[in-house]
Copies of this chain bind each other. A is one copy, B any other.
Amino acid sequence: MQGTILSIGNELLIGKTINTNLSIIAKTLYAMGIEVNQALCVKDDVHSIHQALSQIDDAFIIITGGLGPTPDDLTKEAVCAFYGLELTLHQKSLKRIKDTFKTMHKTMDNSNLKQAYFPKSAIVLNNDNGTAPGAIFQVGHQTIVLLPGPPTELMPMLEPVKTYLLEHLDFEVFHGGYLVVGIGESEMEHQLEGFYNAHKDVLIAPYAGLGEIQYIFTSKDEMALKNALKAFHKRFRDVIVGPYDTPLEHIVVQALQAQNKTISFAESCTGGLLAGRLINVPGVSHVFNESYVLYSDNAKIKRLGVHQSIIDQFGAVSNQCVYELSYQLAQRTGADISVSVSGIAGPDGGTKDKPVGTVFFGITHEGRTKTMHHIFVGDRQMIRQKAVAFALNLVIKTLT
Protein backbone atom coordinates (compact mmCIF):
# COMPACT_ATOMS: atom_id res chain seq x y z
CA MET A 1 0.00 0.00 0.00
CA GLN A 2 1.32 3.41 -0.97
CA GLY A 3 0.50 6.74 0.58
CA THR A 4 0.99 10.49 0.31
CA ILE A 5 1.26 12.92 3.20
CA LEU A 6 -0.21 16.34 2.37
CA SER A 7 0.57 19.13 4.84
CA ILE A 8 -1.45 22.31 4.57
CA GLY A 9 -0.41 25.67 5.98
CA ASN A 10 1.31 28.90 5.00
CA GLU A 11 3.36 28.72 8.22
CA LEU A 12 5.27 25.74 6.76
CA LEU A 13 6.10 27.61 3.56
CA ILE A 14 7.51 30.70 5.26
CA GLY A 15 9.61 28.55 7.60
CA LYS A 16 7.65 29.52 10.68
CA THR A 17 6.96 25.91 11.62
CA ILE A 18 9.15 22.86 11.11
CA ASN A 19 7.06 20.03 9.69
CA THR A 20 7.67 17.51 12.47
CA ASN A 21 4.29 15.92 11.71
CA LEU A 22 5.72 14.56 8.47
CA SER A 23 8.44 12.56 10.20
CA ILE A 24 6.12 11.38 12.97
CA ILE A 25 3.51 10.11 10.50
CA ALA A 26 6.09 8.70 8.08
CA LYS A 27 7.81 6.77 10.87
CA THR A 28 4.46 5.38 12.09
CA LEU A 29 3.43 4.28 8.60
CA TYR A 30 6.83 2.82 7.85
CA ALA A 31 6.64 0.66 10.98
CA MET A 32 3.30 -0.63 9.65
CA GLY A 33 4.73 -1.55 6.27
CA ILE A 34 3.02 1.32 4.42
CA GLU A 35 5.26 3.11 1.95
CA VAL A 36 5.07 6.90 1.84
CA ASN A 37 5.50 7.71 -1.81
CA GLN A 38 5.77 11.49 -1.55
CA ALA A 39 5.04 14.38 0.77
CA LEU A 40 3.52 17.65 -0.35
CA CYS A 41 3.17 20.90 1.44
CA VAL A 42 0.86 23.60 0.09
CA LYS A 43 -0.69 26.90 1.11
CA ASP A 44 -4.04 27.08 2.85
CA ASP A 45 -6.14 28.15 -0.09
CA VAL A 46 -8.74 26.12 -1.98
CA HIS A 47 -6.93 26.30 -5.32
CA SER A 48 -3.63 24.99 -3.91
CA ILE A 49 -5.36 22.16 -2.06
CA HIS A 50 -7.38 21.10 -5.14
CA GLN A 51 -4.29 21.21 -7.33
CA ALA A 52 -2.37 19.00 -4.87
CA LEU A 53 -5.21 16.47 -4.59
CA SER A 54 -5.50 16.23 -8.37
CA GLN A 55 -1.88 15.07 -8.48
CA ILE A 56 -2.26 12.28 -5.92
CA ASP A 57 -3.27 8.82 -7.05
CA ASP A 58 -2.06 6.84 -4.02
CA ALA A 59 -4.45 4.55 -2.16
CA PHE A 60 -3.89 6.38 1.08
CA ILE A 61 -3.69 10.13 1.78
CA ILE A 62 -3.05 11.71 5.17
CA ILE A 63 -3.86 15.41 5.20
CA THR A 64 -2.74 17.56 8.15
CA GLY A 65 -3.49 21.12 9.22
CA GLY A 66 -6.23 23.65 8.58
CA LEU A 67 -8.94 22.13 10.79
CA GLY A 68 -9.12 25.08 13.20
CA PRO A 69 -12.00 27.54 13.63
CA THR A 70 -10.62 30.55 11.72
CA PRO A 71 -11.48 31.52 8.12
CA ASP A 72 -7.93 30.41 7.11
CA ASP A 73 -8.79 26.89 8.22
CA LEU A 74 -10.48 25.46 5.17
CA THR A 75 -8.85 22.07 4.64
CA LYS A 76 -11.94 19.97 5.40
CA GLU A 77 -14.22 22.13 3.26
CA ALA A 78 -11.74 22.20 0.34
CA VAL A 79 -11.07 18.44 0.47
CA CYS A 80 -14.75 17.52 0.65
CA ALA A 81 -15.61 19.94 -2.18
CA PHE A 82 -12.89 18.32 -4.31
CA TYR A 83 -14.37 14.85 -3.81
CA GLY A 84 -17.98 16.08 -4.00
CA LEU A 85 -18.81 15.12 -0.41
CA GLU A 86 -21.46 16.96 1.56
CA LEU A 87 -20.73 18.08 5.13
CA THR A 88 -23.34 17.41 7.80
CA LEU A 89 -23.43 18.20 11.51
CA HIS A 90 -21.89 15.50 13.70
CA GLN A 91 -23.80 15.88 16.99
CA LYS A 92 -21.34 13.96 19.16
CA SER A 93 -18.46 16.19 18.05
CA LEU A 94 -20.50 19.32 18.67
CA LYS A 95 -21.16 18.12 22.23
CA ARG A 96 -17.46 17.34 22.75
CA ILE A 97 -16.40 20.78 21.51
CA LYS A 98 -18.97 22.47 23.77
CA ASP A 99 -17.74 20.35 26.71
CA THR A 100 -14.13 21.39 26.00
CA PHE A 101 -15.13 25.05 26.30
CA LYS A 102 -17.08 24.33 29.50
CA THR A 103 -13.95 22.80 31.08
CA MET A 104 -12.09 26.04 30.30
CA HIS A 105 -15.01 28.05 31.77
CA LYS A 106 -15.67 29.61 28.36
CA THR A 107 -18.60 29.46 25.97
CA MET A 108 -18.16 28.09 22.48
CA ASP A 109 -17.70 30.67 19.77
CA ASN A 110 -19.85 30.35 16.65
CA SER A 111 -16.67 30.02 14.59
CA ASN A 112 -16.06 26.61 16.21
CA LEU A 113 -19.35 25.26 14.86
CA LYS A 114 -17.80 24.27 11.53
CA GLN A 115 -15.37 21.96 13.34
CA ALA A 116 -18.30 19.61 14.06
CA TYR A 117 -19.24 19.09 10.38
CA PHE A 118 -18.15 15.93 8.54
CA PRO A 119 -19.08 13.79 5.54
CA LYS A 120 -21.82 11.28 6.49
CA SER A 121 -19.63 8.28 5.69
CA ALA A 122 -16.70 9.52 7.81
CA ILE A 123 -15.34 7.91 10.93
CA VAL A 124 -14.80 10.91 13.19
CA LEU A 125 -11.63 10.88 15.34
CA ASN A 126 -11.88 12.50 18.77
CA ASN A 127 -9.31 15.12 19.68
CA ASP A 128 -8.48 15.05 23.39
CA ASN A 129 -6.17 18.06 23.23
CA GLY A 130 -8.08 20.55 21.12
CA THR A 131 -11.36 21.39 19.45
CA ALA A 132 -10.58 20.03 15.96
CA PRO A 133 -11.74 16.42 15.45
CA GLY A 134 -10.14 14.40 12.65
CA ALA A 135 -11.75 12.00 10.23
CA ILE A 136 -11.22 8.93 8.05
CA PHE A 137 -13.30 8.34 4.92
CA GLN A 138 -13.23 6.42 1.66
CA VAL A 139 -13.53 7.96 -1.80
CA GLY A 140 -13.36 5.38 -4.58
CA HIS A 141 -10.10 3.46 -4.18
CA GLN A 142 -8.65 6.09 -1.86
CA THR A 143 -8.64 6.32 1.94
CA ILE A 144 -8.47 9.92 3.17
CA VAL A 145 -7.39 10.83 6.70
CA LEU A 146 -7.76 14.36 8.07
CA LEU A 147 -5.74 15.35 11.15
CA PRO A 148 -5.20 18.67 12.94
CA GLY A 149 -1.83 20.45 12.58
CA PRO A 150 -0.58 20.91 16.17
CA PRO A 151 1.65 17.89 16.96
CA THR A 152 0.29 17.53 20.52
CA GLU A 153 -3.20 17.11 19.06
CA LEU A 154 -2.15 15.02 16.07
CA MET A 155 0.07 12.47 17.80
CA PRO A 156 -2.52 10.73 20.03
CA MET A 157 -4.93 10.70 17.06
CA LEU A 158 -2.54 8.51 15.07
CA GLU A 159 -3.55 5.60 17.31
CA PRO A 160 -7.11 5.19 15.91
CA VAL A 161 -5.66 5.74 12.41
CA LYS A 162 -3.25 2.83 13.03
CA THR A 163 -6.10 0.66 14.31
CA TYR A 164 -8.20 1.47 11.25
CA LEU A 165 -5.37 0.75 8.86
CA LEU A 166 -4.44 -2.51 10.57
CA GLU A 167 -8.06 -3.64 10.20
CA HIS A 168 -8.14 -2.71 6.53
CA LEU A 169 -4.69 -3.82 5.44
CA ASP A 170 -4.58 -7.20 3.74
CA PHE A 171 -1.46 -8.10 5.70
CA GLU A 172 -0.20 -7.97 9.26
CA VAL A 173 3.00 -6.14 10.12
CA PHE A 174 5.28 -6.81 13.07
CA HIS A 175 7.92 -4.54 14.44
CA GLY A 176 10.55 -4.17 17.13
CA GLY A 177 14.03 -2.83 17.55
CA TYR A 178 16.78 -1.53 19.76
CA LEU A 179 18.38 1.66 20.99
CA VAL A 180 22.11 1.59 20.34
CA VAL A 181 24.62 3.88 22.06
CA GLY A 182 28.39 4.16 22.02
CA ILE A 183 29.02 3.54 18.34
CA GLY A 184 28.80 5.81 15.28
CA GLU A 185 26.24 5.27 12.53
CA SER A 186 28.87 4.73 9.83
CA GLU A 187 30.67 2.13 11.98
CA MET A 188 27.36 0.36 12.63
CA GLU A 189 26.47 0.42 8.92
CA HIS A 190 29.88 -0.99 8.11
CA GLN A 191 29.36 -3.84 10.59
CA LEU A 192 25.84 -4.44 9.29
CA GLU A 193 26.91 -4.95 5.68
CA GLY A 194 26.20 -8.66 5.55
CA PHE A 195 23.34 -8.43 8.02
CA TYR A 196 20.82 -6.70 5.75
CA ASN A 197 21.24 -9.37 3.08
CA ALA A 198 20.89 -12.18 5.61
CA HIS A 199 17.51 -10.73 6.71
CA LYS A 200 15.93 -9.68 3.44
CA ASP A 201 12.37 -10.15 4.70
CA VAL A 202 12.91 -7.57 7.40
CA LEU A 203 13.10 -3.82 6.83
CA ILE A 204 15.78 -2.41 9.12
CA ALA A 205 16.06 1.36 9.44
CA PRO A 206 18.50 3.31 11.58
CA TYR A 207 17.23 6.59 13.05
CA ALA A 208 20.36 8.41 14.18
CA GLY A 209 20.29 10.98 16.97
CA LEU A 210 23.24 12.68 18.67
CA GLY A 211 25.30 9.85 20.13
CA GLU A 212 22.48 7.32 19.86
CA ILE A 213 20.76 5.35 17.10
CA GLN A 214 17.34 3.70 17.03
CA TYR A 215 17.24 0.55 14.89
CA ILE A 216 13.64 -0.19 13.91
CA PHE A 217 12.81 -3.60 12.42
CA THR A 218 9.62 -4.17 10.42
CA SER A 219 8.37 -7.32 8.74
CA LYS A 220 5.23 -9.08 7.56
CA ASP A 221 6.89 -12.34 8.64
CA GLU A 222 6.80 -12.62 12.43
CA MET A 223 9.35 -15.44 12.54
CA ALA A 224 11.79 -13.58 10.28
CA LEU A 225 11.44 -10.51 12.52
CA LYS A 226 12.16 -12.53 15.66
CA ASN A 227 15.20 -14.12 14.08
CA ALA A 228 16.58 -10.79 12.90
CA LEU A 229 16.07 -9.19 16.30
CA LYS A 230 17.75 -12.15 17.99
CA ALA A 231 20.70 -12.11 15.60
CA PHE A 232 21.07 -8.32 15.97
CA HIS A 233 21.00 -8.61 19.74
CA LYS A 234 23.58 -11.37 19.75
CA ARG A 235 25.92 -9.38 17.56
CA PHE A 236 25.48 -5.93 19.10
CA ARG A 237 24.70 -6.70 22.73
CA ASP A 238 27.60 -4.50 23.82
CA VAL A 239 26.05 -1.37 22.33
CA ILE A 240 22.34 -2.14 22.80
CA VAL A 241 20.96 -0.29 25.83
CA GLY A 242 17.25 -1.09 25.52
CA PRO A 243 14.21 -1.26 23.26
CA TYR A 244 14.13 1.37 20.49
CA ASP A 245 11.11 3.19 21.90
CA THR A 246 12.42 3.88 25.41
CA PRO A 247 14.42 7.13 25.67
CA LEU A 248 17.95 6.74 26.99
CA GLU A 249 17.32 8.81 30.13
CA HIS A 250 14.34 6.59 31.01
CA ILE A 251 16.53 3.50 30.75
CA VAL A 252 19.01 5.11 33.15
CA VAL A 253 16.32 6.06 35.66
CA GLN A 254 14.78 2.56 35.45
CA ALA A 255 18.17 0.94 36.07
CA LEU A 256 18.80 3.20 39.07
CA GLN A 257 15.32 2.58 40.50
CA ALA A 258 15.68 -1.19 40.09
CA GLN A 259 18.82 -1.07 42.25
CA ASN A 260 17.49 1.64 44.55
CA LYS A 261 20.49 3.87 43.80
CA THR A 262 20.97 7.61 43.51
CA ILE A 263 23.06 9.58 41.04
CA SER A 264 24.79 12.95 40.93
CA PHE A 265 26.77 14.86 38.28
CA ALA A 266 29.65 17.33 38.15
CA GLU A 267 29.45 18.91 34.71
CA SER A 268 31.84 21.25 33.00
CA CYS A 269 31.42 21.41 29.19
CA THR A 270 27.96 19.80 29.20
CA GLY A 271 27.07 22.52 31.71
CA GLY A 272 23.79 21.18 33.09
CA LEU A 273 22.52 19.37 30.00
CA LEU A 274 23.22 15.97 31.56
CA ALA A 275 21.19 16.71 34.69
CA GLY A 276 18.65 18.54 32.53
CA ARG A 277 18.10 15.44 30.41
CA LEU A 278 17.78 13.05 33.33
CA ILE A 279 15.16 15.37 34.83
CA ASN A 280 13.10 14.91 31.65
CA VAL A 281 11.87 11.76 33.39
CA PRO A 282 8.88 12.35 35.70
CA GLY A 283 9.49 10.83 39.11
CA VAL A 284 13.27 11.21 38.80
CA SER A 285 13.34 12.52 42.37
CA HIS A 286 13.63 8.94 43.65
CA VAL A 287 17.10 8.63 42.16
CA PHE A 288 18.35 12.21 41.82
CA ASN A 289 18.85 14.85 44.51
CA GLU A 290 21.44 17.31 43.30
CA SER A 291 24.11 18.09 40.76
CA TYR A 292 26.85 20.64 40.09
CA VAL A 293 27.81 22.73 37.08
CA LEU A 294 31.47 23.60 37.67
CA TYR A 295 32.56 25.49 34.59
CA SER A 296 35.58 27.46 35.76
CA ASP A 297 38.78 25.93 37.14
CA ASN A 298 38.20 27.85 40.32
CA ALA A 299 34.74 26.36 40.83
CA LYS A 300 36.21 22.86 40.44
CA ILE A 301 38.82 23.69 43.05
CA LYS A 302 36.51 25.41 45.52
CA ARG A 303 33.46 23.16 45.35
CA LEU A 304 34.96 19.72 44.95
CA GLY A 305 38.50 20.21 46.17
CA VAL A 306 40.35 19.49 42.93
CA HIS A 307 43.97 20.39 43.65
CA GLN A 308 45.40 23.44 41.92
CA SER A 309 48.41 21.28 41.02
CA ILE A 310 46.20 18.91 38.99
CA ILE A 311 44.81 21.83 36.99
CA ASP A 312 48.32 23.26 36.54
CA GLN A 313 49.97 20.00 35.56
CA PHE A 314 47.26 18.18 33.57
CA GLY A 315 44.59 20.80 32.88
CA ALA A 316 40.88 20.73 33.74
CA VAL A 317 40.29 18.50 30.71
CA SER A 318 42.19 15.45 31.93
CA ASN A 319 41.83 12.00 33.48
CA GLN A 320 43.20 13.38 36.72
CA CYS A 321 40.66 16.18 36.95
CA VAL A 322 37.57 14.07 36.17
CA TYR A 323 38.87 11.44 38.62
CA GLU A 324 38.99 14.00 41.41
CA LEU A 325 35.64 15.49 40.42
CA SER A 326 33.68 12.23 40.49
CA TYR A 327 35.48 10.88 43.54
CA GLN A 328 34.94 14.05 45.57
CA LEU A 329 31.37 14.36 44.30
CA ALA A 330 30.60 10.88 45.67
CA GLN A 331 32.14 11.83 49.05
CA ARG A 332 30.25 15.06 49.21
CA THR A 333 26.79 14.03 48.02
CA GLY A 334 26.70 10.42 49.12
CA ALA A 335 25.21 9.50 45.75
CA ASP A 336 25.64 5.82 44.83
CA ILE A 337 26.91 6.76 41.39
CA SER A 338 28.64 10.03 40.59
CA VAL A 339 29.66 11.13 37.12
CA SER A 340 31.94 13.96 36.04
CA VAL A 341 32.33 15.46 32.55
CA SER A 342 35.02 17.88 31.41
CA GLY A 343 35.88 18.60 27.79
CA ILE A 344 36.54 21.03 24.99
CA ALA A 345 33.26 21.80 23.21
CA GLY A 346 34.83 24.46 20.99
CA PRO A 347 34.82 26.32 18.74
CA ASP A 348 38.11 27.44 20.39
CA GLY A 349 40.35 25.89 23.03
CA GLY A 350 41.52 22.83 21.13
CA THR A 351 45.19 21.77 21.11
CA LYS A 352 47.14 19.18 19.14
CA ASP A 353 46.90 16.67 22.00
CA LYS A 354 43.35 17.56 22.95
CA PRO A 355 41.49 18.74 19.85
CA VAL A 356 38.01 20.30 20.01
CA GLY A 357 35.59 17.48 20.83
CA THR A 358 37.83 15.83 23.43
CA VAL A 359 35.76 15.02 26.51
CA PHE A 360 36.89 13.22 29.68
CA PHE A 361 34.50 11.27 31.91
CA GLY A 362 34.86 10.06 35.48
CA ILE A 363 32.49 7.66 37.22
CA THR A 364 32.56 6.56 40.85
CA HIS A 365 30.53 3.52 41.93
CA GLU A 366 30.87 1.36 45.02
CA GLY A 367 34.10 3.04 46.04
CA ARG A 368 35.82 2.61 42.68
CA THR A 369 36.52 5.43 40.24
CA LYS A 370 37.12 4.94 36.55
CA THR A 371 38.00 7.53 33.93
CA MET A 372 37.97 7.57 30.16
CA HIS A 373 37.84 9.98 27.27
CA HIS A 374 36.32 10.21 23.83
CA ILE A 375 36.68 12.58 20.88
CA PHE A 376 33.32 13.68 19.51
CA VAL A 377 32.78 15.22 16.07
CA GLY A 378 30.44 18.14 15.44
CA ASP A 379 29.79 21.72 16.46
CA ARG A 380 29.69 22.95 20.08
CA GLN A 381 26.09 21.86 20.66
CA MET A 382 26.52 18.48 18.96
CA ILE A 383 29.64 17.70 20.98
CA ARG A 384 27.83 18.56 24.22
CA GLN A 385 24.75 16.47 23.34
CA LYS A 386 26.88 13.51 22.28
CA ALA A 387 28.82 13.74 25.55
CA VAL A 388 25.50 13.60 27.45
CA ALA A 389 24.51 10.37 25.62
CA PHE A 390 27.97 8.94 26.26
CA ALA A 391 27.71 9.69 29.99
CA LEU A 392 24.23 8.16 30.29
CA ASN A 393 25.49 5.05 28.52
CA LEU A 394 28.40 4.89 30.94
CA VAL A 395 25.94 4.79 33.83
CA ILE A 396 23.97 1.95 32.23
CA LYS A 397 27.14 -0.03 31.60
CA THR A 398 28.30 0.50 35.17
CA LEU A 399 24.97 -0.64 36.61
CA THR A 400 24.60 -3.79 34.49
Chain B residues whose C-beta falls within 8 Å of the C-beta of A274 in the assembled complex: 272
B285 lies within 8 A of A295 (CB): yes
Report yes or no: A42 in contact with B38, Cβ–Cβ below 8 A.
Answer: yes
User: Please, how many residues of chain A have a CB less than 8 angstroms from a CB on the other chain?
Assistant: 72
Decide: B273 and A276 in contact? CB cutoff 8 A.
yes
Q: Which residues of A290-327 are within 8 A (CB) of B?
A: 290-296, 298-299, 302-303
Q: Does A372 contact B (CB under 8 A)?
A: no
A52–B265 Cα distance when bound, in Å, is 51
Measured CA separation A152–B379 after assembly (Å): 9
Closest to A7 in B: B39
Partner of A290, one of B13, B205, B303, B384: B303
**A195 interfacial by beta-carbon distance below 8 Å:** no
A138 CB-CB contact with B under 8 Å: no
- Interface SS majority for chain A: mixed
Query: CB-CB < 8 A to A347: which residues of B?
Result: 282
B19 touches A15 (CB 8 A): no
Q: Specify which of B39, B280, B384 is in contact with A41 (CB 8 Å cutoff).
A: B39
Contact among B14, B23, B271, B272 for A26, CB-based, below 8 A: B14
CB of A83 within 8 Å of the partner chain: no
For residue A27, CB closer than 8 A to chain B, the reply is yes
B16 and A205 within 8 A (CB) = yes
Closest Cβ neighbor of A203 among chain B residues? B14
Closest B residue to A270 using CB positions: B276
Interface residues of A in 4-47 (CB under 8 A from B): 12-20, 22-30, 35-43
Q: Which residue of B lies closest to A269 (CB)?
A: B279
Q: Judge if A227 is at the interface, Cβ distance under 8 Å.
A: no
Task: Tell me if B13 and A37 are in contact (CB < 8 A).
Answer: yes
Are A295 and B279 in touch, CB under 8 angstroms? yes
A206 within 8 A of B: yes
A18-B15 contact, Cβ under 8 Å, with A48-B38, A267-B272: no
Q: A206 to chain B: which residues have CB within 8 Å?
A: 16
Q: Is the CB of A22 within 8 A of B19?
A: yes
* A232 → chain B closest CB, angstroms: 18
B residues near A23, Cβ cutoff 8 Å: 12, 15-19
Contact of A18 among B20, B280, B381 (CB under 8 A): B20
Does A210 belong to the interface (CB within 8 Å)? no
Least Cβ distance of A7 to chain B in Å?
8
Q: Chain B residue with minimal CB distance to A25?
A: B15
What is the minimal beta-carbon distance from A17 to any residue of chain B, in angstroms?
7
A289 within 8 A of B: yes
Give the shortest distance, in Å, between A61 (CB) and chain B (any CB): 14
Q: B299, A295: Cβ atoms under 8 Å?
A: no
> Closest residue to A380 on the B side, CB-wise?
B282
Q: A275 at the A/B interface (Cβ < 8 Å)?
A: yes
Interface flags for A242-284 (1: CB within 8 Å of B; 0: not) read 0000000000000000000000010101111111101110111
Chain B: minimal CB distance from A132 (Å)? 16
Contact, CB under 8 Å: A276 / B279: no
- A290: chain B residues at CB < 8 Å are 292-296, 299, 302-303
Residues of B within 8 Å of A273, CB to CB, are 272-273, 276
Looking at the assembled complex, report how far the CB atom of A325 sits from the nearest CB atom of chain B, in whole angstroms.
12
12 A-B contacts (beta carbon < 8 Å): A13-B39, A16-B208, A18-B22, A38-B52, A152-B379, A272-B275, A272-B293, A285-B296, A290-B296, A290-B302, A291-B295, A292-B293
| Chain A residues engaging chain B, CB cutoff 8 angstroms | 12-20, 22-30, 35-43, 48, 52, 55, 152, 205-208, 265, 267, 269-276, 278-280, 282-285, 288-296, 298-299, 302-303, 346-348, 379-381, 384
